[in-house]
Amino acid sequence: MKIAVIGGAGYIGSHTIIELYKAGHSVVAVDNLVNSCDESLRRVAEIIGQPVPFIKADARDAAAMDKIFKENHFDACIHFAGLKAVGESVAKPLEYYENNMNATFVLLNAMRNNGCKNFIFSSSATVYGNPAEIPITEKCPKGAITNPYGQTKSMLEQVLIDVQKAAPEWNVVLLRYFNPIGAHPSGRIGEDPNGIPNNLMPYITQTAVGIRKELGVFGNDYDTPDGTGVRDYIHVCDLASGHVSALKAIENKCGLAIYNLGTGHGYSVLDVVHAFEKVNGIKVPYSIKPRRAGDIATCYCNPEKAYKELGWKAQFGIEEMCRDAWNWQKNNPNGYRKG
Ligand code: NAD
Ligand code: UFG
């Protein structure tokens, strides 16, 4: 299939392009580079041994999206483009709602106007709020969301459900990602956050490489085995291959389909720190800090539905996630931009 990969220069998009090529698909990556740089795509090209067609454009630009969809006759669109920092979304709600909602509306219109009816959306475990059940199945009701970023995911899921209901010939796959970490095993592409990382793994790797002094562990008084927060970390390459499987659902005319993409295993913050130290032979200094506002104790999924219906399941364990995250960081201490 020929796939439009919107937000393709970013962390998950760049890894997904590799898996799409491996599965025999072709892509055009589109990105405005607001949170990435095209060096990621140059490195993807190096890995796959062929150039990655790339168009620098904003997904909110209706004329640009219409032209791209008109000229390319895509079979499907995978939509990664969005602003994603939870804390920043609380400080800049308008920017988050404006970007994430409008980008999706414009894309859907460009698709509708040009006969592309297959859509894969990057949703998030955040839509479950403080989950009503653990492990979380797709039947778990959506929960109260405490930040504008999460609201955009939940609202856009509803938009997409309604769009598909009104046009049943559309195939729409909502992928609810759990916590992607790690990097391509080559060490050439990985997560390159701007400024101080919000997420656990980039904070750990930046501490290990000496950019940060120590990791703050946000709370050790949760109702979890060691008191620190438990999450379902998933290797970004496994998450990427989940998109290839979602295309199979589309080929089978799935209509609307919703899948959790996680491993089904919960690891605490200290489990991750200790796994990282063990597999990489490097110390990660840390201290216990107060809880972070909006965090929940435990979040991990039941990934059976994706396995039963798509044959997809995560292949990599926490050791590989920690090994590949460190391989990326130590080879690119300043990410893509500075060497
Ligand atoms: P990322 O920031 O690395 O990638 C997103 C890409 O979209 C960036 O390259 C950015 O430049 C681009 N972009 C943003 N707004 C755009 C616009 N208006 N037009 C064109 N390009 C635009 O983030 P990621 O970690 O790769 O996440 C990809 C998607 O998955 C996002 O929608 C994110 O919300 C979602 N998601 C991520 C996580 C996570 O932990 N990384 C978890 C759940 C869901
Ligand atoms: N944590 C720390 N110290 C840090 C960073 C994080 O102790 O410096 C802890 C958090 O308190 C939490 C765990 O590590 O217990 C994971 O935190 P992350 O910030 O890495 O991830 P979250 O689970 O909070 O959220 C992430 C993305 C969201 C997405 C969600 C999906 O940031 O966008 O996963 O499950 F919605």
Query: Residues with beta carbon inside 6 Å of ligand 1?
Result: 7, 9-13, 31-36, 58-60, 80-84, 99, 103, 122, 124, 177, 179-180
Mutate to test the pocket of ligand 2, among 136, 152, 198, 200 (most ligand atoms within 8 A of CB): 200
Range 18-36 average pLDDT: 98
Q: Can you tell me whether residue 7 is helix, strand or coil?
A: coil
Closest CA to 55 of 43, 66, 42, 64: 64
Mutate to test the pocket of ligand 1, among 41, 119, 122 (most ligand atoms within 8 A of CB): 122
Query: In the prediction, which pLDDT does 117 show?
Result: 98
Cα–Cα distance measured from residue 250 to residue 298, given in angstroms and rounded to the nearest whole number: 32
Q: Can you tell me whether residue 3 is helix, strand or coil?
A: strand
> Residue 146 — very low, low, confident or very high, per pLDDT cuts 50/70/90?
confident
pLDDT per position as a tens digit, 295-307 = 999 999 999 999 9
pLDDT at 190 over 90: yes
Q: Which residues contact 245 (CB under 8 A, 6 or more apart)?
A: 306, 310, 311, 312
Ligand 2 atom nearest to CA at 232: 35
Ligand nearest to the CA of 301: 2
Q: Tokens 């509306």 map to which residue?
A: 105
Token output for 185: 């095993």
pLDDT per position as a tens digit, 106-116 = 999 999 999 99
Ligand 1 atom nearest to CA at 177: 43
Average pLDDT, the chain: 97
Cα–Cα distance measured from residue 108 to residue 81, given in angstroms and rounded to the nearest whole number: 13
pLDDT at 196 over 60: yes
Residues with active-site annotation: 149
Q: C-alpha 229: how far from its chain's center? A: 20
Ligand nearest to the CA of 336: 1
Is-contact 250 318, C-beta < 8 A? no
Cα–Cα distance measured from residue 189 to residue 181, given in angstroms and rounded to the nearest whole number: 12
Query: In the prediction, which pLDDT does 64 show?
Result: 98
Closest CA to 80 of 43, 34, 112, 47: 34
Cα–Cα distance measured from residue 8 to residue 36, given in angstroms and rounded to the nearest whole number: 9
pLDDT at 339 over 80: no
Q: Can you tell me whether residue 45 is helix, strand or coil?
A: helix
pTM of the model: 0.98
pLDDT per position as a tens digit, 223-258 = 999 999 999 999 999 999 999 999 999 999 999 999
> Residue 337 — very low, low, confident or very high, per pLDDT cuts 50/70/90?
confident
Query: In the prediction, which pLDDT does 338 show?
Result: 58
pLDDT per position as a tens digit, 253-290 = 999 999 999 999 999 999 999 999 999 999 999 999 99
pLDDT per position as a tens digit, 40-76 = 999 999 999 999 999 999 999 999 999 999 999 999 9
Q: Can you tell me whether residue 181 is helix, strand or coil?
A: strand
Range 23-31 average pLDDT: 98
